[in-house]
Amino acid sequence: MGKKVLIVGGVAGGASAAARLRRLDETAEIILFERDEYISFANCGLPYYIGETIKDRNKLLVQTPEAMKARFNIDVRNNSEVISVDAKNKKVVVKSKTKGTYEESYDYLILSPGGKAIRPNIPGINSEKIFTLRNIPDTDIIKAYVDKKGINHAVVIGGGFIGVEMAENLRDRGLNVTLVEAAPHILAPFDPDMVVIAEKELAENGVGLILGDGVKSFEEIGNQVQITLGSNTKINADIIILAIGVSPDTAFLKESGLAFGPKGHIIVNEKMETNLEGVYAVGDAIEVVDFITKQKTAIALAGPANKQGRIAADNVAGLNATYKGTQGSSILKIFGLTAASTGANERTLQRASMPYQVIYVHPVSHASYYPGAIPMSLKLIFNEEGRVLGAQGIGYDGVDKRIDVIATAIRFNGTVDDLAELELSYAPPFSSAKDPVNMAGFVAQNVLADRMNTVAWKDIEKDGNEDTMLLDVRTELEFSNGHLDGAINIPVDSLRERMNELDKNKTIIEYCQVGLRGYIAARILSQNGFKVANVTGGYKTSSMLHY
């Protein structure tokens, strides 16, 4: 018999490690411990089962203990919690629902215990009407509760991915839904200027949004729970979903001698090795390196967990595999909308003191003359050397593709020149001859080469003063449908004839709808001796910010 490998946690990281290890090594003894009844389930599908988009509960169960045994000869022990690790003697203590407490020795140990939903110590938090969502039992309870008669008002606390997904899915079930977020905006991977589009989509689909207001207390009143927010706003709910994040589920490892990061994440090296000999860790419970900032971070996402599980197995089997850090690539459906991001956002870069520049484009999803073309908003973040640091995209179609393409470029330390040059596949139903990613590259090139001096809305709004002149270069019709206070209107197509109406002593801050005509106007004016700045993202971005 070969090496004896214990795995703690039977879902994304753990089950992936087990399957890969068996493929690499028929002789290893592999035992997989899972505290709950279910292994290998589709965590990411849980909200959609509650929302009844996924109708068949069995679809959530990707693998069963029996199937893992038959296919991979894995000794799956569900209902078996590992309660401590004795690294010196290379053994763990297991508390089994059926077999009591026992020890099991190991040559190698792979830890993938995941995270647990955070439940802060707020008055009233123990109400039975407050749910968190992490696994199948949670799902069954929530779904049964929602299925009951008289459950009409839901409050979701926390505007992260799971919170937004639950808001959408409860709305799909016909509930009145309010989403409460303590920060000024939902979905932290996105910067405020982008996330407003997602917030608008939620609002338009009937999800009430309360931003910048945290929960102070809960109180059961009759059949409902009353939530009191920091602002003293009170809202009543039949059901509350608490989705304010996860923390590593590592309490059972406290005495093991493992090294932990500041928030309780297990510290590993590139090979997924912990500080303890023969002990590997993967998934939501570990600390990883941010691919962009090179700082330590943690990322609770299934892709990294699966890949890290595979890497740990490779290393246990004697191959040499490494995990090179996370870009935090993530994506979310919000009703009709797709919101996706990769790399660092402005907040992260500011925190890491990494200088950056930003551009926005609003290209159409595919050739504008082919039916169904619809604009998306794409934000690109890059540094002075042109290296792409991050991107965020929101729109109704084709956003996932563009963010994945940029994620790929980031992986290769690509620059904005690389984005401009990418040869992507084009036919009218799928893209444009200049793909949105190319377009973002072009615009960034122009900014870096000082061909376009840009200014952000937030800056003009505070900087507007006597030395500047606000110019709207859209058509007269667009102008009359709405424009910025104090702007004068000269359509770009008349600019060459009418530039004598402008003052060479002032800085001309000009905008169009999305930035393209503003760029052309800027090129005309600057080459004619005017000081000019084009507003990034155009009027569209401004109206988004003020929707």
Ligand X SMILES: Cc1cc2nc3c(=O)[nH]c(=O)nc-3n(C[C@H](O)[C@H](O)[C@H](O)COP(=O)(O)OP(=O)(O)OC[C@H]3O[C@@H](n4cnc5c(N)ncnc54)[C@H](O)[C@@H]3O)c2cc1C
**Binding-residue pattern over the window 136 to 175 for its own copies, x denoting contact by CB under 8 A:** -------------------------x--------------
* CA angle centred on 330, ends 324 and 332, rounded to 5°: 165
Look at residue 342 and give the partner it binds from ligand COA, its own copies, ligand X, none, a contact being a CB closer than 5 to 8 Å depending on partner kind.
its own copies
**Binding-residue pattern over the window 262 to 291 for ligand X, x denoting contact by CB under 6 A:** ---------------------xxx------
Look at residue 113 and give the partner it binds from ligand X, ligand COA, its own copies, none, a contact being a CB closer than 5 to 8 Å depending on partner kind.
ligand X
- CA 523 – CA 452 distance, rounded (Å): 7
Torsion over CA: 487, 489, 495, 500 (sign): negative
The residue among 339 and 525 lying less far from ligand X, judged by its C-beta, is: 339
Residues 42-71 that bind its own copies (CB under 8 A): 42, 44-45, 48, 53-54, 59-60, 62, 67, 70-71
216: Cβ contacts below 8 Å, ≥ 6 apart: 122, 123, 228, 229, 230, 232
Buried b (16+ CB within 10 A) or exposed e, 112-143: bbbbbbeeeebebeeeebbbbbbbbebbeebb
Site for its own copies contains 433 (CB under 8 A)? yes
- CA 153 – CA 171 distance, rounded (Å): 10
Q: How many residues bind its own copies (CB under 8 A)?
A: 91
Residues 211-250 that bind ligand COA (CB under 6 A): none
Q: How many residues bind ligand X (CB under 6 A)?
A: 37
Site for ligand COA contains 11 (CB under 6 A)? yes
Answer whether 330's CB lies under 8 Å from 165's CB: no
Residues 417-436 that bind ligand X (CB under 6 A): 426-428
> Within 10 A of 60 (CB to CB), how many other CB atoms are there?
19
Pairing of strands 388-395, 376-382: antiparallel
Look at residue 63 and give the partner it binds from its own copies, ligand COA, ligand X, none, a contact being a CB closer than 5 to 8 Å depending on partner kind.
ligand COA
Site for its own copies contains 183 (CB under 8 A)? no
**44 catalytic, yes or no?**
yes
Rounded to a whole number, what is the distance in angstroms from the first to the last CA of the chain? 66
Site for its own copies contains 332 (CB under 8 A)? yes
Which among 162, 175, 181 is positioned nearest to 238, based on CA atoms?
175
Site for ligand X contains 313 (CB under 6 A)? no
Residues 273-332 that bind ligand COA (CB under 6 A): 302, 306, 310
Structural tokens at position 37: 């009844």
- CA 241 – CA 189 distance, rounded (Å): 21
Which among 454, 427, 474 is positioned nearest to 523, based on CA atoms?
454
Cβ 528 to ligand X shortest distance, Å = 30
Site for ligand X contains 346 (CB under 6 A)? no
Structural tokens at position 239: 């059901």
Residues annotated as catalytic are 44
The residues binding ligand COA (CB under 6 A) are: 11-12, 15-16, 19-20, 23, 40, 42-45, 62-63, 302, 306, 310, 361-362, 433-434, 439, 442-443, 446, 514-516, 519
| Interacting residues with ligand X (CB under 6 A) | 8-14, 33-36, 43-44, 46-47, 81-82, 112-114, 133-135, 162, 249, 252, 283-285, 300-303, 305, 426-428
